[in-house]
Amino acid sequence: MTSNPLTLTITARQDAPGDIMCLTLADPDGAPLPPVTAGAHIDIAIGDQWRQYSLAGDPADRSQWTLGILKDPESRGGSTALHAGARPGQTVTVTGPRNHFALVEADRSCLFGGGIGITPMLAMAHELAARGAAFDLHYCTRSAGRTAFLDLLGAAPFAGHTRLHHDDDATKLTLAALPAPAPGTHIYICGPEGFMDWLIAAAEAMGHAPDHIHREYFSAEVDVTGETFEVEARETGITVTVGAEESIVTALARAGISVDVKCEEGICGTCLTDVLEGLPDHRDHFLTDEEKEDNSEMCLCCSRAKSAKLVLDI
C-alpha cells in the first residue's frame, strides 16, 4: 500500500447508465502507478472528506486506474460532488491502494456484483482470467437500461464467464445461481446491503463455510447509539465517557485524542484499533465474524461496548 498521498490526473470521464460515472486516473507524468491486486480500493479526497472507491480495471495495467462511481442521492455528498465537478484534466488526491477484499486460491470462484458493487468484481474477473482460473461473474442490475460497463464486459477476456441479471425480466437473479458448497469453492459478494445480506444468508444456509463467503460493503446503515460507557486510551492515560448519542471517535476528540476516520460507517477499517480490555459491541461490516468473536480489535467510528469500560491501545 502507498501511505503517502498521490496526485493523479483525470484522463477520461464517461457517464454510464444507472447514474454511474467511470473515471480514469493516471500519473500526470506518465509514471507507472503503484501495483494493485483485484479487490483493492483507493481513498479520494473530496473537500475535507475521504471516500473509498474500488478499482475496476485490469490489475496488471499500471498505466491507469479505473473507477466506477454511483451518484447516490442518499450519500453524504462525496459521490454527488464528484459527479458535479470531475472533469478530464483535473487532478485528485488519493491514498492507497488498500485491499481488504482480495482473492484467495480456490478451485472455483463465484463473483456476485449488485449495481455499483460490480466494480471490484471486474478487477477480480481480469485477474482470474489471467490465471486461467475457473470462475463465474454474476452482474445484477434493476434493468437492462440501467446497466453500466456493457462495452467493457463485451470486450473483456472474461466475457464468456459473465451472466447478466435484471430485476425486471426473466434473467433476474435467483438463489439457484449460488454454487453447491465444496472445499475449494469461494464466493465474493458486493453491492447494496440488502442484496448482500440476502446472498450471504442463503450461502450460509446452504452450508458454505463462513470463511469462504467474502464480502465488501460500499455503504451501510449504522446505529452508534446505546448506553453510556467509559473508554481509556492507554497510551495517553486519558479516560472519557462515551455518551448515548455519540461515537467513540467523537468522545475521544473532545479530550483531544484524534482518530483517523474515513468512511464513518464501519466498512473501510481505517479506525481499526486494538482492544486491551473490555468487551466491544461490534457494529461494523469490516471485521469478519471470527475476528469479532476474538474481540481483540474494533472499529471506533461506529462500534460501542458491552462492558462498562474499554481500554484501547491508543
End-to-end CA distance of the chain: 22
Nearest to 212 by CA among 178, 194, 188, 177: 188
> Tell me, what's the pLDDT at 262?
81
> Tell me, what's the pLDDT at 53?
93
Q: Confidence band (pLDDT; 50, 70, 90) for 2? A: very low
pLDDT tens digits for range 94-147? 998 989 899 999 999 999 999 999 999 999 999 999 999 999 999 999 999 999
Q: Which domains does the chain have, with CATH numbers?
A: 6-98 (2.40.30.10), 108-217 (3.40.50.80), 229-312 (3.10.20.30)
Q: What 3-state DSSP class applies to 9? A: strand
Counts for the chain of helices (H) and strands (E), in that order: 6, 18
pLDDT tens digits for range 186-229? 999 999 989 999 999 999 999 999 999 999 987 767 788 999 99
C-alpha cell at 90: 483535473
Q: How many CA atoms lie within 13 A of 109 on its CB side?
A: 27
> Tell me, what's the pLDDT at 56?
96
* Cα–Cα distance for residue pair 156/129, rounded to 1 Å: 10
Cα 127 to Cα 84, 104, 288, 291: the distances in Å are: 32, 11, 24, 27
> Tell me, what's the pLDDT at 3?
58
> Tell me, what's the pLDDT at 218?
77
* Cα–Cα distance for residue pair 220/285, rounded to 1 Å: 8
> Tell me, what's the pLDDT at 105?
95
Average pLDDT, the chain: 93
Are 90 and 26 within 8 A, CB to CB?
no
* Cβ-Cβ contacts under 8 Å for 115 (sequence gap 6 or more): 18, 70, 140, 141, 142, 191, 192, 195
Count of CB atoms situated within 10 Å of the CB of 296:
13
* Cα–Cα distance for residue pair 90/95, rounded to 1 Å: 17
On the question of pLDDT at 78 being above 90, the answer is: no
Cα 108 to Cα 105, 122, 132, 134, 188: the distances in Å are: 9, 16, 11, 5, 11
Are 76 and 49 within 8 A, CB to CB?
yes
> Percent of the chain, pLDDT > 70?
97
Phi, psi at 185, each rounded to 5°: -100, 130
Nearest to 272 by CA among 245, 231, 247, 302: 302
